[in-house]
Amino acid sequence: MDTLKGFQVVAEDHASAARTGLIQTPHGEVRTPAFFPVGTHGAVRGIDPAELESVGVSGLLGNTYHLHLRPGEALIQKHGGLHGFMAWSHPILTDSGGYQVHSLDHLCERSEDGVRFRDPSDGSQHFLSPERCIEIQEALGADFIVILDEFEPIPLDRTQADAARVRKMMERTLRWAERAKSSCKRKDQQLFGIVQGGGFEDLREESAERTRALGFDGYAIGGLGVGEDTNARALLVSAALRPLPLDQPRYLMGIGHPEDVVEAVNLGVDLFDCVIPTRHGRHGVAFTNTGPIQLRNARFRIDDSPLDPACTCPVCARFSRAYLRHLLAAREMLGPRLVSLHNIAFYMQLMTAMRDAIGRGEFSSWRDNWRRSYEPKSVGSSDATDSAA
Amino acid sequence: MDTLKGFQVVAEDHASAARTGLIQTPHGEVRTPAFFPVGTHGAVRGIDPAELESVGVSGLLGNTYHLHLRPGEALIQKHGGLHGFMAWSHPILTDSGGYQVHSLDHLCERSEDGVRFRDPSDGSQHFLSPERCIEIQEALGADFIVILDEFEPIPLDRTQADAARVRKMMERTLRWAERAKSSCKRKDQQLFGIVQGGGFEDLREESAERTRALGFDGYAIGGLGVGEDTNARALLVSAALRPLPLDQPRYLMGIGHPEDVVEAVNLGVDLFDCVIPTRHGRHGVAFTNTGPIQLRNARFRIDDSPLDPACTCPVCARFSRAYLRHLLAAREMLGPRLVSLHNIAFYMQLMTAMRDAIGRGEFSSWRDNWRRSYEPKSVGSSDATDSAA
């Protein structure tokens, strides 16, 4: 394996498709399965990079769309790329911006060439093509970059008319993937293709097969987390993973809740990103080993235990639920900040637990135990629309 | 000096009234002149106590009014007092709540007994008397507590009618001071009297003389920072300090901008609190050794220097003005947080520089140099109304 770029599987579970691995990048390594918190505008909401490091975060996601609009990739490139600009010396993945652009709906106009769109905040015109998208991501300088894809951020439907529409977008995404790949200039970045195919297993499999044929450093699975249930998602992810090479990383974009992540690891996914730990944290939802809790609930008013007694994070080491609840009630910025940090730490501890269980060859029994103790109460949305910002 | 409680002057400047000292408390010592950031609701806005510690903060101010209303002193007492509740193991000063109550205007009704007021957020009735105010502060458990005073948070006027009104409030404050003192039960807290007297030097001096006669562990000067100019304030502070014992700490409440603090140290003040470093930080104003800068200004867009090249704080060590400006423009919570932390660090470095200069016997020349290099541009209000929240 190239020391600056590459992936190797370290251990495989025997009873499932789960595996642990190691991704090398010019900014250090990522142990997989890994979860990348989202730094939309070049910052994980409210969290200092030194804090991310302290709770074991190995990589972040930056949003190409937002960074292109503000402050612009040229300025970021001048200030040491995204790593230097935001003072994060570990790996970064940038998305393509496609998700955000396609979500603009009436403000975007698609063609074979690319997507023309207006910035909702000032009405300025912008154009994103497969080539331009790579150019922007090369300027931002992330370790992992992804191709521009075409898809529609709507619930997966399975009528014949939908199938034809989804195939059309999938075919265009494949053509864009080829254009993106041949426009790449930097050799130190790892380029990921994106598997689409909506709610159709056969299209997911075909998309993965043909994306693999183009040849990428890794493979993302896009367009999920749009309201599908766990079983439907499992079938679609499995279909997408089937043709993908075992010796390359697989990345499930924008997913998700802890239970979603555990299920996807079970299917063989290596990499995740999601805004849930920080978005939920800002809204007073803290993750614990027995499930999420809404801290604003009156029952936490005099609760002097930490958010999660099993947690080793710097928040749980010092602050009570009662104090954090007070901060949220008083609208003190420190509240969202501390709950977000705990949530990120919770995800990191979850990923570590899974990597350890896989390494010991005990992932399936670990997963059974975890599912018995963790109750995924409905305290917030799990939609992939979460990843829009 | 009692190891749990007390003050000693360490060095005195020969050309001014400036002095350095050491205050002992059950939660460690405070080197004076000292500046306490404000933690209104039991948190310095957006800042982790560990960060405060890392930039050399030796003490904080908590707002009795706000903490009494939410979450209430009983809950805080159950959770280890304010120190335990907010995980701050160093000294804390609580104000009396008087400033906030008297600012409620039509929601408060004063009598000799105390002040009846409504919580603006839910209309609930509350009553604050000199005795109740001590009781609340004993439950909160701060190291420094202050008496309930009566004053009006309006610009200082100097008509005869005003003089009579100010004298009336001063006399009541003196009676309240006596009641407060005799109601104290805890012996480990240091009780501060408050000098009032509005814009009248003679009343300031009389207030200080008679407050001293009652005997307190330290003396606060209240009712300033209401729009008076530097010279007027210097005359009033000097009048208040004249009768006060040299071997007890003097605290100028709610002041102020760096230039205000430097001038008050010159007059012999030992202790300060103010929301300016955090409030200005939230609004994009960063303090530097040459004066404050408004980071939102376009000229910082591509400025890759730190906020202040001379600053040793963890923000200046890592982030550029361009990045911080971007965070503010993108409304990222991390922006206000980082600028606030830098501003607190700036104040701490300023206090250290003054203590060192006094220790070396060079305060006056230090002050001359500082005033030559620091330009107090008008980038925000310096009113003491800042200390309301």
Q: State whether B226 and B174 are in the same domain.
A: yes
pLDDT score of A380 = 46
Instruction: Identify the DSSP state of B387.
Output: G
Chain B residues whose beta carbon lies within 8 Å of the beta carbon of residue A320: 79, 85
Count of domains observed in chain A = 2
Mean pLDDT of chain B, nearest integer: 94
Distances from the Cα of B38 to the Cα of A121, B50, B259, angstroms? 35, 15, 18
Q: State whether B172 and B214 are in the same domain.
A: yes
Chain A residues whose beta carbon lies within 8 Å of the beta carbon of residue B49: 318
Q: State whether A109 and A248 are in the same domain.
A: yes
Could you read off the pLDDT of B75-134 as tens digits, one per residue? 999 999 999 999 999 999 999 998 898 888 778 999 999 999 999 999 999 999 999 999
Last-in-domain residue among A252, A281, A310 = A281
Q: What are phi and psi of A229, to 5 degrees?
A: -85, 170
Tens-binned pLDDT, residue by residue, of chain A (389 aa):
566 889 999 999 999 999 999 999 999 999 999 999 999 999 999 999 999 999 999 999 999 999 999 999 999 999 999 999 999 999 999 999 988 988 887 889 999 999 999 999 999 999 999 999 999 999 999 999 999 999 887 788 888 888 999 999 999 999 999 999 999 999 999 999 999 999 999 999 999 999 999 999 999 999 999 889 999 999 999 999 999 999 999 999 999 999 999 999 999 999 999 999 999 999 999 999 999 999 999 999 999 999 999 999 999 999 999 999 999 999 999 999 999 999 999 999 999 999 999 999 999 999 999 999 999 976 543 333 333 33
Does A10 fall in a domain?
A: no
How many whole angstroms separate alpha carbon B37 and alpha carbon B289? 19
Beta strands in chain B, from DSSP E residues, in sequence order: 6-12, 19-25, 28-32, 34-39, 60-62, 92-94, 108-110, 115-118, 125-128, 144-146, 190-195, 218-221, 250-252, 271-274, 285-286, 293-294
For chain B, the residues whose C-beta falls within 8 A of a C-beta of chain A are: 41-50, 66, 70-71, 75, 78-79, 85-87, 301-302, 304, 314, 318-320, 322-323, 326-327, 329-330, 332-338
Residue B101: domain span:
32-275
Adjacent-strand bridge partners of B128: B115
Q: State whether B355 and B338 are in the same domain.
A: yes
Pairs of residues, one from chain A and one from chain B, whose beta carbons lie less than 8 Å apart: 115
Say whether B70 and A329 touch across the interface (CB within 8 A). yes
Say whether B320 and A79 touch across the interface (CB within 8 A). yes
Catalytic residue among A143, A270, A273, A386: A273
Q: State whether B167 and B297 are in the same domain.
A: no
Structure tokens at B93: 């000063």
Does B8 fall in a domain?
A: no
Q: Which long-range contacts (CB under 8 A, 24 or more apart) does A359-365 make?
A: A359/A10, A359/A11, A359/A20, A361/A11, A361/A13, A361/A14, A363/A13, A363/A15, A363/A16, A363/A18, A363/A265, A363/A266, A364/A13, A364/A15, A364/A16
Could you read off the pLDDT of B287-299 as tens digits, one per residue? 999 999 999 999 9
Chain A residues whose beta carbon lies within 8 Å of the beta carbon of residue B327: 41-43
How many whole angstroms separate alpha carbon B211 and alpha carbon B193? 6
- Count of CB atoms situated within 10 Å of the CB of B158: 12
Q: State whether A172 and A309 are in the same domain.
A: no
Does B380 fall in a domain?
A: no
How far does CA A206 lie from the centroid of its chain? 23
Residues in contact with A123: Cβ distance below 8 Å, sequence separation at least 6, in sequence order: none
Q: State whether B231 and B164 are in the same domain.
A: yes
Q: Which long-range contacts (CB under 8 A, 24 or more apart) does B304-311 make?
A: B304/A78, B304/A79, B307/B339, B307/B342, B308/B342, B308/B346, B311/B342, B311/B345, B311/B346, B311/B349
pLDDT score of A378 = 62
Q: State whether A103 and A201 are in the same domain.
A: yes
Q: Rounded to two decimals, what is the model's pTM? A: 0.96
For chain A, the residues whose C-beta falls within 8 A of a C-beta of chain B are: 41-50, 66, 70-71, 75, 78-79, 85-87, 301-302, 304, 314, 318-320, 322-323, 326-327, 329-330, 332-338
Of A86, A304, A319, which is closest to B323 when you measure between CB atoms? Answer: A86
Q: State whether B288 and B268 are in the same domain.
A: no
Say whether A66 and B330 touch across the interface (CB within 8 A). yes
- For residue A104, the domain's CATH number is 3.20.20.105
Q: Is B273 helix (H, G, I), strand (E, B) or coil?
A: strand
**Is the pLDDT at B379 greater than 70, yes or no?**
no
Chain A residues whose beta carbon lies within 8 Å of the beta carbon of residue B336: 333
Q: Which of A38, A40, A45, A48 should we substitute to test contact with B (largest number of B Cβ atoms within 10 Å)?
A: A48
Chain A residues whose beta carbon lies within 8 Å of the beta carbon of residue B52: none
Residues in contact with A78: Cβ distance below 8 Å, sequence separation at least 6, in sequence order: B302, B304
Does B378 fall in a domain?
A: no
pLDDT score of B385 = 36
Amino acid at B114: G
Q: Are B240 and B272 in contact (CB under 8 A)?
A: no
Residues in contact with A298: Cβ distance below 8 Å, sequence separation at least 6, in sequence order: none
Q: Are A315 and A281 in contact (CB under 8 A)?
A: no
Q: State whether A214 and A342 are in the same domain.
A: no
How many whole angstroms separate alpha carbon A5 and alpha carbon A2? 5
Percent composition of chain A: helix, strand, coil (DSSP 3-state, to 5):
40, 15, 40
pLDDT score of B179 = 98
Does B16 fall in a domain?
A: no
The size of chain A, in residues, is 389
Q: Looking at residues B302-306, what average pLDDT do you find?
A: 97
Q: Are B248 and B36 in contact (CB under 8 A)?
A: no
Confidence of residue B70 (pLDDT cuts 50, 70, 90): very high
Q: Is A185 helix (H, G, I), strand (E, B) or coil?
A: coil
- The strand order across the sheet containing A19-25 reads A6-12, A19-25, A28-32
Q: Looking at residues B7-26, what average pLDDT do you find?
A: 97
